[in-house]
Structure 1
C-alpha cells in the first residue's frame, strides 16, 4: 500500500490481513473455564448417553404383561418389591407379578419393560394399584439413544455455549481442547487524548477509542490489554509497542494513520514494513496493517471513533475470529428497507450506523442513527446504532423504500 495513490477495495485489504494471521495454539481447559472458547478438537462420548436404561418418569417399573388391560374399571394390584431413587444401582431383577417404585433418572431394573407414571396409580409403597395400561417400553429411556460410546458430541470450530459445555460434561469429558484466546493490546495515539474523568484543557478530548476497541475485542472473544493512550512521540510509541508485543498476540492502534504532519504511527511503522494506504470505504478510508519486529500482527486504524468502530468490524473482528480457529469469520448479513433517504460518498462503499427495527416476521426497517449519517466523528451515533447499513460504492443515493444490506450488531434483535 505504501508508494501508491490507488485506493484498494475492502476485500483486497481484508485478504491481506487474513493472509497475515494464523490460528493460535491449542490448549486444554477445564469445562468451567471453557465458556466462549472455540473448540479445536472434537469431543467424543466416553460412554453411551444415557449410559443405562433409565426412567423418564416418577412411577413404577413393571412388566407390561403384568398390567395388561389395567383401567379405571379393571384395576391391577401388584406388590412393590423395591424402591429405586435416582442413583440406585438397580441390579436386582424385577420378578414377574411385582413392581418397583422408581424415580426419574433411576436405572430401570432388569426384567422391567415399561414405566407406569405415578399419576396412573394410587401411589402405594407396599403395593400399588394401577388403573391405566402402559405400552411396551413406555417412559423407558434406552441406553445409547442419545449417543453411542465414541460418537462425536461436538465438532471442532464450535463456540462453546452453556449448552455445548453441558453436552461435553454429559459425554464424560472434564476438559476440552480449545484454541488459545487471542490477547490483544489496544493503544490510542494522539497528544490531545486524556483519560476519561480527568480535566481537559482547550484542544484536549477524553480517550474513548481505547475503551471502544478493548470492549470490541472482548465481544469478539479476545482478551483485551488496554494500554490507554500515548502522545505523538515516536520513542514513547516504540516503548509501548515493545511492551505490547511481549504481552499480546496482536496489537490494535487507533489514530496517526492519515497524512497529517504528526502521524507518528506511520513514521515509526512504515519503515518496518507495515503497509499504509487508503481503502474505498467511508468511514475508515486510511488503514494500515503489518507486523512488529517479532511478527506480532499490528492493525493501524483511523482515530475518529466511528471510523475506528467500523474498521474494527470490517477488518479486525474477522482476523480475531481467524486467530481463534473459527470456520466463519464474517458476521451474518441480511437486508432492510430504508425508512428515510440519505446521501452516499462517491466511489466509496458506505458503512453507516443505523437503528434497526424488525417486525414480527423478521423484516427490518433501518434509518441512520443520527442526522449526521456516517460522519466519522459522531461517537454518539455508535451508542444509538443497532448495526450498519452497507451501501455499494456505485450507489449515489439511498432513497426511502430502497433495500439495503444490513449488518446487525445484536444477537437477538427486538421486534416492533
Structure 2
C-alpha cells in the first residue's frame, strides 16, 4: 500500500472540475406541468398580448372620461347605466356620452369607454349613477399589452424556470416548451462488503449509504441518477460496468478511491480517461479523484461523511453547470464556537456543526459517521494553515440546503 504523494489544493481541484464540464446540449419537449426548475432551451415569444383587451382595474363604472369632468361631492355628474359586464363575460355594448356600464375588476371595457370610476366614488339612483369624482382617460384601465406585448420575448433561452416564470407561460397559453434534458448520472457503488437497505445484514457486510446520498444530491441538483449494481473488486467487473456507465452524461464511483492493493478503480479508469487529479488537501475527502474522457468521471471516498461532503463540494457545482442550472446561493451565518477544536495542518477541513442559541457546536465525528452530517446544520471551513479554533471565536457557518 502506497500513501498519497501529490495532493492538490481544494480551490485548484474544483477549478479543474468546472473547466472540464461542458453544459448539456440535449433537449426535450415537456408539458408546462413538468417545467418547474427546468432550463429553457430556446427563446419563447408571446403569441398574444396580455391583457388581450382593455379591462377594468377596479370594480366601478366604465365611462367616457370627459363626462366626469367637473364632478365633485357637492356637484356630482349623473350618468345613465346601460348595462353590466362581469369578469369573463363578453358583451357587445357601446356607450354614448351621458352613459356608463357597471363593470367588475378584470372585465372587458365596453366600446367607447376610456376610464373607470371606482364604485366608492359613486352612488346608484335607480337606472342612473351619481359620479362624485372626475377621472382622466385611462384611469383604472389596464390597456392591451400592459403586461406582455404580442411578439416580444417572454423568456429567454437558458432561463431557469421558477413559479413566476411558469405563470408567465401560462398567461399566454403556452402548454408545452423545449427545455434542456436532465443529465443522466451513473452511480456506481464499489465494494464486496455492500448490501442494499432492507436486506438481512450478514457478518462482514455493511449497508450501502453512499448510493442513496449521491442519488439524492443528483436529484436535488437537476440530474437523473442511474443506479448500477454493485461493482466488485475485479478489473473485469469494473471495466464492464464502466463501459456501460459511460453511456450516461457523467459517472460517479463511490469507494475504491484510496491507494491500496485491492483498489483497482484508477487503473481501469485510466484506460478510458485522463486522471485530472487524485487526492485533495481536504478533510474529509482526501482520496477524491476526477478523470476526463468522453465524460467526466468522479471517484468519491467510501466513508459516508467524506462521500457526501465531497458531493456537495465537487459534484453539486459540476452537475449544476452540466445541467445549466444557476450556481447554489450559499447562506452563511456567524456564530460563536461552543468549544475549542483542533484541525490538521496542511489540509482544509469542512467541520460540521449544529447551531444553538448563537453557538456552533461540533457535530463532526469521523469520516465514516453519516450522523456527522445528518445531525448538523452546516459546516465551518478551517483553512489548511490553521490547526486550532478557540472557544467563543466567531466562525462563519455555511448552512446546508437540505
TM-score by length of 2: 0.88
The aligned residue for residue 327 of structure 2 is 329
Change (3 A) 1:49 1:57: same
Alignment pair present for 1:380 and 2:371: yes
The aligned residue for residue 339 of structure 1 is 337
Change (3 A) 1:141 1:369: farther
Q: Deviations over 1:12-56 (max 9, x none)?
A: 222222232211123333322211102233333333332332112
Runs of 4+ in structure 1 off by over 6 angstroms are none
**Of 92-101 and 399-408, the range deviating more from structure 2:** 399-408
**Of 28-37 and 142-151, the range deviating more from structure 2:** 142-151
Alignment pair present for 1:310 and 2:303: no
Q: Does structure 1 retain, via aligned residues, the 8 Å contact 2:335–2:397?
A: no
The aligned residue for residue 143 of structure 1 is 144
Alignment pair present for 1:348 and 2:339: no
The aligned residue for residue 360 of structure 2 is 367
Distance in 1 of aligned mates of 2:319 and 2:120: 54
Distance in 2 of aligned mates of 1:243 and 1:329: 29
Cα drift, residue 283 of structure 1: 0.5
Distance in 2 of aligned mates of 1:330 and 1:409: 11
Corresponding residue SS for 2:360: strand
Aligned pairs for 1:7-406 (under 5 A) are 7-25=7-25, 26-68=27-69, 76-89=77-90, 92-121=93-122, 127-130=127-130, 132-133=132-133, 135-136=135-136, 137-227=138-228, 229-246=230-247, 248-275=248-275, 277-291=278-292, 295-326=294-325, 328-340=326-338, 341-356=340-355, 365=358, 367-368=360-361, 370=363, 373=364, 375-406=366-397
Distance in 1 of aligned mates of 2:39 and 2:285: 29
Give ranges in structure 2 of 5+ residues lacking alignment.
none
Corresponding pairs, count: 397
Cα drift, residue 313 of structure 1: 0.9
Change (3 A) 1:90 1:356: farther
Give ranges in structure 1 of 5+ residues lacking alignment.
359-364, 412-416
Distance in 2 of aligned mates of 1:207 and 1:123: 75
Cα drift, residue 73 of structure 1: 5.7
Corresponding residue SS for 1:385: coil
Q: Does structure 1 retain, via aligned residues, the 8 Å contact 2:352–2:378?
A: yes
Q: Deviations over 1:128-184 (max 9, x none)?
A: 434542532332112233233343333443321121111122244333332211111
Q: Deviations over 1:217-255 (max 9, x none)?
A: 011111112235333233333333333333x21111110
